[in-house]
């Protein structure tokens, strides 16, 4: 035991980034089994103290609930011990979607108050079942090509639509379309077109994105009809609330909505629909905290177009100073322009408008694509969307930790869009190990038939977080979603109080199982 204390002090200094040289004169093997055991325990404690789930303390009731949670976690992971590819956390969600929903762990997580979703997109929230319901509304037309075999657009109109960009397609009413193809066939067909399943893998990231973007294009005419847009957003809040979500920061391209006569509404009217429906929902759901909008137009534009984005965002901020959360640029990073191309106009953004940039949603290393992470930090982003490539930039990763910039991790999205092969090797595991602040989000759950947030929590808990992670990790992720939100400090305090009330009820329920 001559040197174990020296080694422990050395490890402690390293963990605290105090790189003082410590001389270890003898081999670590020159020890008694007792000394080795003490050093091993110390090293593991120091290493675990740096992870993001090391902070929360558990009450007596939470400890009782934790026993239930960990028992069910053990059940879920049991198959993976003997055969690493047989457990639910080891497989693409498309193969185990219904199996996961039927587990007790999933059901416990679904009822868990998860705080907020800080990364989600406007037309990819509601379930496919709700989209199917919308197709039964009056005056809906469908546009098909290839002799009526493929649907490419929808449109609400009293008479047959006349859309200049779609002059060559075949418009027919949804009633005619159902009659021609059969009710059951249409439902089955639309369920496939509204999601990326049953396809479980693609030949490349670009192939996945092509299918992904085709859904947005297809449903635009269905959802951008002003009355539907209002109902869709409200129903999205209902589905989120039922999934244990109390707060939302929604990224919206802020489209021009249209009326039944073809008239287009101003984007301010789109924002007003968001605001009024949020207030209506809060009035009928007092435990719901709030929702805010991140104005997030497409990045596949010329830099000059960003000038208009800035003007629009500034106008939003002036009229909706607290409802607007901030600004982002969205779309596939590989095909869109890098942030550095927009630096000049972005630096003109008023300082009271926060940035929440997508950055590093890529497998590339050392390109302008993954270097979006550098520009996001230099531009003062408050959070980073995805940040998948951050572990390849250790200095930037350490910097965002020091600056307390949270990374919005979207586990299911990353793998559906072909960034990784299994959850155990997700970069967020390295982020957690290094104490980088993260929040768990869902991105576009509608497109992969997922619950608004529970599936992402499920995979984060079973596949990404350390094996020993327990209720403390889940609690940390829930509270992080409020801590790193765009709410004011005063509103955050009120939000934590609402969340805590729901959390305590859930803990009581779980502890009594």
361 noted as active-site residue: yes
Burial class of 381 by CB neighbour count within 10 A (0 to 12, 13 to 18, 19+): buried
Which of 361, 371, 408, 455 is the catalytic position? Answer: 361
Q: With b meaning 16 or more CB within 10 Å and e meaning fewer, what string describes 215-240?
A: bbebbebbbbbbebbbbbbbbbbebb
Confidence of residue 358 (pLDDT cuts 50, 70, 90): very high
Which of 119, 121, 386, 393 is the catalytic position? Answer: 386
Compare 271 and 467 and report the one with higher pLDDT.
271
241 noted as active-site residue: no
* CA pair distance 106, 459, nearest whole angstrom: 10
Residue 424, SS3?
Answer: helix
Q: What is the 3-state secondary structure (H, E, C) of 373-423?
A: HHHHHHCCCCEEEECCCHHHCHHHHHHHHHCCCEEEECHHHHHHCCCCCCH
Q: Over 70: is that where the pLDDT of 17 sits? A: no
| Residues written for the chain | 513
* φ, ψ of residue 120 in degrees (nearest 5): -155, 155
Residue 111, SS3?
Answer: helix
Quote the pLDDT of residue 19: 43
Confidence of residue 365 (pLDDT cuts 50, 70, 90): very high
* CA pair distance 260, 255, nearest whole angstrom: 16
Quote the pLDDT of residue 79: 67
* CA pair distance 444, 196, nearest whole angstrom: 11
Instruction: For residue 493, give both structure tokens.
Output: 């305090």
Mean pLDDT of all residues in 134-158: 90
Q: Over 60: is that where the pLDDT of 302 sits? A: yes
List, for residues 381-429, the tens digit of each pLDDT value.
999 999 999 999 999 999 999 999 999 999 999 999 999 878 889 999 9
Mean pLDDT of all residues in 216-238: 97
Quote the pLDDT of residue 245: 98
Residue 377 and residue 401 in contact, taking contact as beta carbons nearer than 8 Å: no
List, for residues 460-482, the tens digit of each pLDDT value.
999 999 988 999 999 999 999 99
Confidence of residue 99 (pLDDT cuts 50, 70, 90): confident
Confidence of residue 58 (pLDDT cuts 50, 70, 90): very high
Q: Over 80: is that where the pLDDT of 124 sits? A: yes
Residue 100, SS3?
Answer: helix
Averaged pLDDT score across all residues of the chain: 90
Compare 80 and 283 and report the one with higher pLDDT.
283
Mean pLDDT of all residues in 505-510: 98
Mean pLDDT of all residues in 165-188: 88
* CA pair distance 117, 114, nearest whole angstrom: 8
Confidence of residue 162 (pLDDT cuts 50, 70, 90): confident
Quote the pLDDT of residue 237: 98
Rounded to two decimals, what is the model's pTM?
Answer: 0.90
Q: Over 60: is that where the pLDDT of 14 sits? A: no
Mean pLDDT of all residues in 157-179: 85
Quote the pLDDT of residue 270: 98
Mean pLDDT of all residues in 369-392: 97
For the chain, percent of residues with pLDDT exceeding 90: 75
Confidence of residue 200 (pLDDT cuts 50, 70, 90): low
Mean pLDDT of all residues in 318-342: 96
Q: Over 60: is that where the pLDDT of 23 sits? A: no
DSSP 172-201: EEHHHHHHHH-HHHHHHHHHHHTSS-S---
Quote the pLDDT of residue 203: 81
- Which of 168, 92, 81, 183 is closest to 135 using CA atoms? 183
- Of the ranges 43-47, 50-54, 87-91, which is most confident? 43-47
List, for residues 241-256, the tens digit of each pLDDT value.
999 999 999 999 999 9
Quote the pLDDT of residue 1: 40
* φ, ψ of residue 153 in degrees (nearest 5): -165, 160
Mean pLDDT of all residues in 22-45: 65
Residue 481, SS3?
Answer: helix
Compare 242 and 207 and report the one with higher pLDDT.
242
Quote the pLDDT of residue 4: 46
Quote the pLDDT of residue 202: 83
Confidence of residue 147 (pLDDT cuts 50, 70, 90): low
* CA pair distance 350, 58, nearest whole angstrom: 42
Q: Over 70: is that where the pLDDT of 83 sits? A: no
Confidence of residue 167 (pLDDT cuts 50, 70, 90): low
Q: Over 80: is that where the pLDDT of 201 sits? A: no
For the chain, percent of residues with pLDDT exceeding 70: 88
Quote the pLDDT of residue 328: 98
């Amino acid at each position: 035991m001559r040197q174990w204390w020296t080694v422990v002090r050395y490890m402690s200094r390293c963990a605290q980034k105090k790189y003082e040289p410590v001389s270890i004169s003898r081999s670590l093997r020159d020890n008694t089994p007792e000394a080795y055991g003490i050093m091993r325990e110390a090293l593991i404690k120091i290493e675990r103290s740096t992870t993001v789930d090391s902070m929360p303390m558990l009450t007596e009731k939470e400890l009782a609930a934790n026993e239930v949670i960990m028992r069910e976690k053990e059940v879920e992971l049991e198959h993976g011990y003997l055969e690493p590819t047989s457990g639910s956390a080891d497989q693409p969600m498309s193969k185990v979607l219904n199996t996961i929903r039927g587990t007790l762990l999933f059901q416990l997580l679904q009822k868990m108050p998860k705080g907020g979703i800080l990364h989600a997109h406007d037309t990819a929230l509601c379930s496919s079942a709700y989209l199917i319901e919308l197709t039964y509304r009056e005056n809906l037309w469908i546009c098909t090509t290839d002799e009526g075999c493929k649907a490419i657009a929808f449109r609400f109109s009293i008479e047959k639509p006349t859309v200049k960009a779609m002059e060559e397609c075949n418009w027919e009413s949804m009633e005619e379309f159902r009659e021609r193809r059969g009710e059951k066939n249409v439902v089955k067909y639309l369920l496939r077109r509204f999601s990326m399943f049953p396809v479980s893998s693609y030949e490349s990231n670009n192939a996945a994105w092509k299918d992904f973007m085709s859904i947005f294009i297809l449903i635009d005419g269905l959802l951008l009809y002003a009355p539907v847009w209002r109902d869709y957003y409200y129903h999205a809040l209902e589905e989120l609330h039922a999934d244990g979500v109390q707060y939302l920061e929604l990224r919206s391209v802020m489209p021009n909505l249209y009326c039944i006569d073809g008239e287009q509404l101003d984007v301010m009217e789109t924002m007003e629909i968001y605001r009024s429906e949020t207030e209506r929902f809060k009035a009928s759901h007092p435990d719901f905290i709030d929702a805010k909008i991140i104005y997030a137009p497409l990045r596949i534009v010329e830099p000059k177009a960003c000038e208009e984005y800035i003007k629009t965002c500034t106008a939003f901020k002036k009229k909706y100073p607290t409802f607007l959360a901030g600004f982002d640029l969205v779309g596939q990073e590989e095909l869109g322009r890098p942030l550095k191309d927009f630096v000049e106009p972005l630096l003109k953004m008023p300082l009271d408008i926060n940035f929440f940039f997508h950055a590093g949603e890529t497998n590339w290393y050392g390109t302008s694509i993954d270097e979006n992470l550098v520009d996001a930090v230099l531009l003062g982003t408050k959070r980073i969307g995805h940040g998948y490539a951050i572990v390849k930039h250790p200095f930037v990763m350490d910097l965002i930790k020091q600056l307390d910039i949270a990374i919005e991790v979207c586990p299911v999205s990353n793998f559906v869009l072909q960034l990784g092969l299994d959850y155990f090797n997700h970069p967020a595991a390295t982020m957690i190990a290094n104490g980088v602040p993260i929040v768990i989000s869902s991105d576009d759950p509608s497109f992969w038939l997922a619950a608004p947030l529970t599936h992402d929590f499920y995979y984060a808990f079973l596949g990404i977080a350390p094996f020993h992670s327990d209720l403390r990790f889940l609690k940390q992720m829930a509270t992080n979603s409020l801590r790193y939100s765009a709410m004011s400090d005063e509103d955050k305090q009120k939000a934590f109080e609402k969340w805590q009330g729901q959390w305590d009820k859930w803990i009581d329920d779980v502890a009594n199982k």
